[in-house]
A and B are shown apart, each in its own frame.
Chain A
Amino acid sequence: MISPKLVEVGRHLNVNIITNSEIKSVEGEPGNFTVTLVNHPRYIDPVKCTGCGECAMHCPVTAVNSYNKGLDDRRATFIEYPQAVPLAFGIDTDTCIGCGLCENMCVAKAIRYDDTERESALTVGSIILAAGSQGYDPSKLDFLGYGKFANVVTSEEFERILSASGPYRGHLCRPLDREEPKKIAWLQCIGSRETNKCGNGYCSSVCCMYAVKEAMIAKEHAHGDLDCAIFNMDIRTFGKDYEKYYLRAKDKDGVRFIKSRVHTVVEIPETGDLTVRFVNEAGEILEETFSMVVLSVGLQVPETSKILAQQLGIELDKYSFVETDPFTPVSTSRKGVYTCGVFQGPKDIPGSITEASAAACAAGSDLAVARGTDTKVIEMPDQQDVTAETPRIGVFVCNCGINIGGVVNVPAVTEYAATLPFVAYTDQNLFTCSQDTQDKIKEKIIEHKLNRVVVASCSPKTHEQMFMETLEACGLNRYLFEMANIRNQNSWIHSKTPDIATQKAKDLVRMAVARSAMLKQLNEKVISVNKQALVIGGGVAGMNAALGLGKQGFQVALLEKDASLGGYSRMLHHTIEGGDIQKYLKDLIADVIAHDKIEVITGARVVDFSGYKGNFTTSVLVGPENKKRTIKHGIIIVATGAGEYTPKEYGFNQDPRVVTQVQLGDILEEKGAADLSSVVMIQCVGSRNEENENCSRICCQNAVKNALIIKKQNPEANVFVLYRDIRTYGLMEDFYKEARNLGVIFIRFEPENPPKVEPAAEGMMVTIKDHILQKNLEIRADLVTLSAGMVAEDTTELCGIMKFNRNPEGYFIEAHVKLRPVDMPGDGIFLCGTAHGPKLITEAIAQAQAAASRATTFLSKSEIKLSAITAQVDTEHCVKCLTCVRSCPFNVPVFNTEKQVIEIDEAICHGCGICAGVCPRQTIQLNYYEDDQILCKIDALLAGGM
């Protein structure tokens, strides 16, 4: 999943990757920092190293593989993992014996035994700290037996065990005897929510979800019935749609969830099995035996990050996470220095990615005036038209050091290629991907008038773009290129049978040459980008997104359907940390209104919409007189928000003594807690039920926040929180602990047995079955507070016009839940705030900045080149059966009712090819992958005889 991102960063012209280095000091001011780096020696020149791996293959030294968490070995010359960027090896001098073998073996002459530690300096305008986290080391918790019993592993180790590239190649085995486990226990909160032994009072936020995931994947990998049990205090699946996954694990896949913190783990020496001793909710001491125990270790800040923060003068909190303000979530205590990811606080992948974009927005805003002044651009010569020419194919066969050449007879393959139709030139290279070979290819293209190029080497995934650029650099259309993967799909697999490998290489080259002759030059359409942005929704998220863009110098139209800005936040008073929301909102609204780049349009209703990325047109009716306005814009940010659920439960709206948390917030703000003597709060009202399966994420902290206010103002008051799982994730766990310390009583209930609320002689009577006493408790309350969940704003009309996709709960769907959390599936459309899913104000701000940042990547370009790989319909033969319309995951094909034909707009086509595959009349072709261009490869393969 992460590989394409790695490749993108690795190949990005304006991303300079400096690995194996640390910051020594940072001098200067925002806009002009001088960073002194310590560059540790790698002992292998990353520029010369091609990543062929020959050095590691011959290294005689065995070292512990820390990437696989010590579960297997590697060599002293090594690369952390096969997709690493840069794809260059290094030497671990702690274990290297200096035998010199690698230097002798390295064909690229990249080994530098005399490499030394150096210092270098960088000048930058902003700094982002994304130092990440490390898993908690459970060895000092001796009662768990980690380090003592082989079959007790951490969740990080288990993750590697499940991985296809891990120590057991994805086979589910336990370390002791490599037997497949029959029963696995996960123990939650190891190194989290625990101040006694490890001092990590916070919740690590991610362990519940990854434990459920690991259990589900382990069940998939297991050959028989695998029994999975997760021992937990609360299950915290609070992320978007996470609760549905948890329910699937619990109800469909039979993962057991046991509410208990395990007391001890003891090994049964004869079998290596482990006996887990724990107390159940009824207070009974139980024992259960498992074949394996996984410790769900928490996230913590590594020592090195603490030193880094110290050197930079950045303040950290008591757990060493970067100190940030609830309203400026990615700003550190030092101006011009930003942070994101787990260094900011425990969080999952989508949260980290969102924050990363937010930090980029903040860092970019500071530097907006200088945008584009220090970036590199490649100048390309004019393209020549070769359409009418007979194909003249150049074939370049790669030795890849001895990676290919050591197995495949490369000269024979090269000679063979010369005999194939239309081949005008052949050559072999030591490393086809090296810079000097690119120059050579260019030379040969010109010298031999080549109009097609085939490279027989490695994977197009990593190298195709580079070769295509080489073609462009000498005026040849980039789509006249084809690759044959004779390494990953050939020499690596058939290394023991060189003859067969050589034969297969010839087959692969013959196929590539056949396709190459069929390739057509394709023109990438260039469209201009309108630099104006449209933000829909004037709440905290929408305003922050507008400001983020305004500060970067882009004109923004901010639409708000109400008469004034502010959204739902107008109903809120304080964050759990004590941040004053109304003051913040007042300042924010003032900033937005005063900003010369932002035009606020209140009382606006979208009535018409058309266009595509870079060129949208939206019509709105404004104000009570419904004045029509048409706005042309290049991007859209959707921030329509959400509100509090109006309960149907527990007599809400019938009795004034039953209120929601937001209403309680108002009462506390106006009257304080002095006249409250007993308050009962009921969690999960309108969430985690049949109607709305998801968790609303914010209600637990809301209850804790209000409970704390009551207890602090009126310590005599009794506060009871009736809950199912308390989900005060991340640093909010401290507030939950504080509430318990102050005497707030938390009582857990099962959804099948919810509390009963009835009016009584004095106040209300709440009846609840206590899970420890197993008896009904009656609690008198003068106020019952319902922790009502969140409901998305009704956007049915908007979605009808703008064709945005929502999930069944009415929240907008992002392009990819993990990797693209603020992008919508349509290009140029972004998403932030509670329109995406329930979240806290701090999280909404970060997401708004992230959306602004993502939008900036679009708006900062004057024009965009569209991919030429799009689908084309032959309307003449199309029978309008609508199969393409119904099958396209991006809703691109449409039936044009005026022209009565199916149309596929190349500006929005993603080029996935699904429509071309399903078309029953074969009237849709995908450019660069036309039927002929694929079938000719099969014909070429079969022509060689099987």
Chain B
Amino acid sequence: MIVAKRKPFNEIKSLLKDYKKVLNVGCGTCVAVCLAGGEKEVAVLNAELDMARKLEDNPVEMGAITVERQCDREYLEALDSLVNGYDALLSMACGAGIQFLAERYPEKPVLPAVDTTFIGVNQGVGWYEERCRSCSSCVLGLTGGICPVTMCAKGLYNGPCGGTNKGNCEIDKNQPCAWYMIYERLKAQNRLDCILEITPPSDWQNQIPRTVIQPGYKKPEKV
């Protein structure tokens, strides 16, 4: 799941300072599940903005709607009849959703209310941890199910490096060394030979937006 956290309130307030009528658009999928941008968070943020702007003698009219997913155009259709009534749109979706919204309504300022943080897991209520950097070349099959790109401070595909320190990373003694964990896991599974396999480094240079077309599908000529 994509995990986001709400931006500091003052930052949101300052982004909206010039607008009198703003539609706050929540997203009912990842950001709802990580308690950052579902119906409840939209309602809470709107109430806060409403009060803060009243106190500043600069009232704002906040609209609220939460769509199923902001990254699917069919779900954005519900907004078409609404956006014209507003000066700006505030999105509580992840970066992808915010951009998709901006793309659909190019004439409207679309502003982010959350910082998209990582792809991660839910450890408990309100507690999330990063697990994946979407590097496009997964090595988990060789690393005992522990991602070195995410968990190693250097994102090394081959490790450990010289900075490994009694199970921890040289950057911080509270930060476990990913490659130490990988070693321990593989050893327990009797698969230590995996660690000897060399993975070529990812080409992080010249990154451009990636596109995926699943087998059996093709990109339509016209959207």
Contact = CB atoms under 8 A, between A and B. Distances in A.
Given A877-B28, A879-B28, A920 B125 contact: no
Given A882-B122, A887-B125, A920 B29 contact: no
User: In terms of DSSP, what is the predominant structure of the interface of chain A?
Assistant: loop
B38 interface: yes
B122 A921 contact: no
Contact of A881 (B33, B41, B66, B124): B33
B43 A922 contact: yes
B124 A879 contact: no
B28 A886 contact: no
Interface in A900-946: 918-922
Interface string B94-114: 000000000000000000000
Give the interface centre of A879, A920, A921 by most chain B CB atoms within 10 Å.
Answer: A920
A66 interface: no
B125 A886 contact: yes
A921 B32 contact: yes
Contacts of B38: 879, 920-922
A877 B32 CA distance: 11
Contacts of B125: 883, 886-887, 918
Nearest to A885: B125
B54 to A, nearest CB: 11
Contacts of A887: 125
A547 B159 CA distance: 68
B124 A921 contact: no
Nearest to A923: B39
Contacts of A920: 32-33, 35, 38-41
Nearest to A918: B125
B32 to A, nearest CB: 5
Given A882-B122, A887-B125, A922 B39 contact: yes
Q: Which of A877, A881, A887 has the most CB of B within 10 A?
A: A881
A479 to B, nearest CB: 25
A883 B35 contact: yes
A240 to B, nearest CB: 27
Interface string B80-106: 000000000000000000000000000
A921 B28 contact: yes
A921 B34 CA distance: 11
A881 B43 CA distance: 18
Contacts of B40: 919-922
Interface string B56-84: 00000000001000000000000000000
B4 to A, nearest CB: 12
Nearest to A917: B40
Contacts of A886: 124-125
Given A920-B38, A922-B39, A879 B32 contact: yes
Interface string A161-201: 00000000000000000000000000000000000000000
B35 A921 contact: no
B29 A879 contact: yes
A902 to B, nearest CB: 12
Contacts of B43: 922
B27 to A, nearest CB: 10
A148 B178 CA distance: 70
Nearest to A877: B28
Contacts of A879: 28-29, 32-33, 38
Contacts of A877: 28
Contacts of B35: 881, 883, 920
A920 B29 CA distance: 10
A912 to B, nearest CB: 15
Q: Which of B32, B35, B124 has the most CB of A within 10 A?
A: B32
A787 B74 CA distance: 72
B109 to A, nearest CB: 26
A877 B26 CA distance: 14
Interface string A860-896: 0000000000000000010101110011000000000
Contacts of B122: 881-882
Contacts of B29: 879
A873 to B, nearest CB: 14
Interface string B1-41: 00000000000000000000000000011001101001111
Residue among B29, B33, B66, B122 having the largest count of chain A Cβ atoms under 10 Å: B33
A889 B43 CA distance: 25
A886 B123 CA distance: 10
Closest 8 CB pairs of A and B: A920-B38, A881-B33, A922-B39, A886-B125, A921-B38, A920-B32, A920-B40, A921-B39
Given A886-B124, A886-B125, A920-B41, 20 more contacts: A879-B28, A879-B32, A879-B38, A881-B32, A881-B35, A881-B122, A882-B122, A883-B33, A883-B35, A918-B125, A919-B40, A920-B32, A920-B39, A921-B28, A921-B38, A921-B39, A921-B40, A922-B38, A922-B39, A922-B43
Interface of B: 28-29, 32-33, 35, 38-41, 43, 66, 122, 124-125
21 contacts: A879-B29, A879-B32, A879-B33, A881-B32, A881-B33, A881-B122, A882-B122, A886-B125, A918-B125, A919-B40, A920-B35, A920-B38, A920-B41, A921-B28, A921-B32, A921-B38, A921-B39, A921-B40, A922-B38, A922-B39, A922-B40
